[in-house]
Structure 1
């Protein structure tokens, strides 16, 4: 039961963090492109790879913390459904170039961020 509460609490924090990033991105970068969703998804991919690798290759992240961070916080923080809705909306406007840019930048950015998170975790694991 404690794990369920931890995941739920962390998910709530992740959701609030996603909302705050979205507000910041809209205010700072504008609303012509879904920057907030892109930022949380790229950051989330980096963090998910980083946490998973450290948890699997070291004792720095125990199983309950991994569950809390990965399933809870990052589950609430990242948002594929928003990415899908925003991209579909752009393509239906039709803002083809912006929609295609969102699709490409998100897919490549998240993939690269995941690789970078994995690489950083592997370096840290070698030091432990």
Structure 2
């Protein structure tokens, strides 16, 4: 039960961080393109790669902390549902090019972010990149 509560608290922290970063992105970059969700999902993909590699390869992160960070914090921080909604809204507004760019950028950058996170985790753990 304690682990469950910790994961829920991590989710709340991730959600709060998403709200703040998303608001900053709109303020700094404008509301015309969903930059906030793109940045959040790429950053979250990178961070989950680091957390999972380090947590599963070493004793540096206790398993409960790894799960709280990966499932709770990153689960609350990243947002596939918002990504889907924003892509549909771009299509509905006739912005096919922006919608296509958003879907392709999100997919490629999130995969790249996770790959980079796993590589950084490998550097931290073994002094070399590793997937």
TM-score by length of 1: 0.97
The residue number in structure 2 matching 1:77 is 77
Detail structure 1 runs of 4+ shifted over 6 Å in the superposition: none
Query: Following TM superposition, by how much is the alpha carbon of 1:126 offset from its aligned partner in structure 2, in angstroms?
Result: 1.1
Asked if 1:65 is matched to 2:65, the reply is: yes
- Cα RMSD of the aligned pairs, angstroms, is 0.7
Query: Following TM superposition, by how much is the alpha carbon of 1:15 offset from its aligned partner in structure 2, in angstroms?
Result: 0.3
Distance 2:59 2:4 in 1: 22
Distance 1:81 1:14 in 2: 15
Distance 2:72 2:111 in 1: 21
Question: Where do 1:35-74 residues align within 5 Å?
Answer: 35-74=35-74
**Consecutive unaligned residues in structure 1, runs of 5 or more:** none
Q: Spell out, residue by residue over 1:76-121, the C-alpha distance to the aligned partner (whole angstroms, 9 max, x if none).
A: 0000000000001101111011101100110010010011000000
Query: Following TM superposition, by how much is the alpha carbon of 1:64 offset from its aligned partner in structure 2, in angstroms?
Result: 0.3
Q: Spell out, residue by residue over 1:4-43, the C-alpha distance to the aligned partner (whole angstroms, 9 max, x if none).
A: 1101111001001000011000000101100110011001
The residue number in structure 1 matching 2:89 is 89
